Amino acid sequence: MTIGQKIAWDDTILPFQLDNSDIRGRVARLDGVLDGVLAQHDYPAPVEALVAEMTVLTALIGQTVKLRWKLSLQVQSRGAVRMIATDYFAPAQEGEPARIRAYASFDRDRITDAGAFEQIGEGYFAVLIDQGRGTEPYQGITPLGGESLSGCAETYFAQSEQLPTRFAITFTKVQENGRGDAWRAGGVMLQHMPKASPHIQGGGSGVNGLLTPSDVVSDDDEENWYRVNTLLDTVEDAELVGPDVSPTDLLVRLFHEEVPRVFDMQPVRFGCTCSEDRVRNSLSIYSAKDIAKMTTDEGLVTADCQFCGAHYRLDPKTLGFDADESPGDGT
């Protein structure tokens, strides 16, 4: 597949609602965002696939939350891929793009030829929401359950939020005129509108008794939920990636009988919030002795941002909670 100039719906998230089914959703299209995320690292192919999927999930989920600052997704595991971390930063002002960043920590010598999700072992899936200064951060954690990261996210919403949720995600590399290989990804998220309902007790039908979307949909809404999921099952990868199919055309093709209603499209960009000031703040908890141990033979303290690869070189005398004392004083 060869792509020419940038398309209007690249790097966007389109919210929608299916009025006949009481279901809301999002369509995400990412190209430059995913290029920005993956260009920072030399990931093996299975790790690239996991980070790509997690990035699309983050775009879809982040735009669902009434977010004032940051949503983070994390996977922690005992497998070859130890951690995947992503952040979605809400727009600072209306009309501005949201920003996404992501990275993975892994043991290269443990990566196998098995599928991407097989590189993840036992662990947990976490959603963290930070609404900024003066608020209490929210954290929800569930064991990893499912056969993909999307399945883990569906399990999280069923288990922790008791919201039936479905994801359809794909990603690929394409040939772009003037750019060579480039990433292109897309996805759809469906979620039943939240309703006041009794908390479900007992085990579910998922792995190790975890709840699944089918466990938390009520009798009154079951028919709507399964009908819309059946329609989503007909989506093709080329439609999700979408160079030739706009998000609105996709919704009409899939859900025209459900009366889809779209809202304002949200642009999204790759972006990192790291800075020298933030690095200094993170090092402010250390004493002069601790800073001395971090100081290189060149007499500097260095730090690298895992998300964007920025490299910082700092004077140790200006760091730590006792920065007025020299690390060489032995105090």
Is residue 95 predicted with pLDDT exceeding 60? yes
Residue 208, pLDDT score: 67
Residue 272, pLDDT score: 74
Mean pLDDT score of the chain: 85
pTM: 0.83
pLDDT tens figures, 138-179: 999 999 988 999 999 999 999 988 899 999 999 998 876 655
Contacts of 174 (CB under 8 A, 6+ apart): 1, 2, 3, 181, 182, 183, 184, 243
Contacts of 236 (CB under 8 A, 6+ apart): none
Residue 323, pLDDT score: 64
Is residue 313 predicted with pLDDT exceeding 70? yes
Q: What percent of the chain has pLDDT over 90?
A: 55
196 — pLDDT class (breaks 50, 70, 90): very low
What is the Rg, in whole angstroms, of the alpha carbon atoms belonging to the chain? 22
Residue 7, pLDDT score: 72
Residue 326, pLDDT score: 39
Torsion of CA 13, 270, 39, 154, to 10 degrees: -50
Residue 330, pLDDT score: 38
Residue 144, pLDDT score: 93
Selected residue with higher pLDDT from 308 and 288: 288
Q: Tell me the two tokens of residue 126.
A: 């976490």
Is residue 307 predicted with pLDDT exceeding 90? no
Selected residue with higher pLDDT from 243 and 14: 14
Is residue 78 predicted with pLDDT exceeding 80? yes
Give the chain's end-to-end CA distance (angstroms, integer). 63
Is residue 104 predicted with pLDDT exceeding 50? yes
Is residue 222 predicted with pLDDT exceeding 60? yes
Residue 143, pLDDT score: 94
Q: What percent of the chain has pLDDT over 70?
A: 85
Residue 178, pLDDT score: 59
State the average pLDDT over residues 10-14.
Answer: 95
Is residue 46 predicted with pLDDT exceeding 70? yes
1 — pLDDT class (breaks 50, 70, 90): very low
What domains appear along the chain, each with residue ranges and CATH number?
9-270 (3.55.30.10), 276-329 (3.90.1280)
Q: Which three-class secondary structure string do you get for the chain?
A: CEECCCCCCCCEEEEEEECCCCEEEEEEEECHHHHHHHCCCCCCHHHHHHHHHHHHHHHHHHCCCCCCCEEEEEEEECCCEEEEEEEEECCCCCCCCEEEEEEEEECHHHCCCCCCHHHCCCEEEEEEEECCCCCCCEEEEEECCCCCHHHHHHHHHHHHHCCCEEEEEEEEEEEECCCEEEEEEEEEEEEECCCCCCCCCCCCCCHHHCCCHHHHCCHHHHHHHHHHHHHHCCCCHHHHHCCCCCHHHHHHHHHHHHCEEECCCEEEEECCCCCHHHHHHHHCCCCHHHHHHHCCCCCCEEEECCCCCCEEEECHHHCCCCCCCCHHHCC
pLDDT tens figures, 238-296: 999 977 899 999 999 999 999 999 999 999 999 877 667 777 777 777 778 878 878 88
Is residue 202 predicted with pLDDT exceeding 90? no
Residue 271, pLDDT score: 83
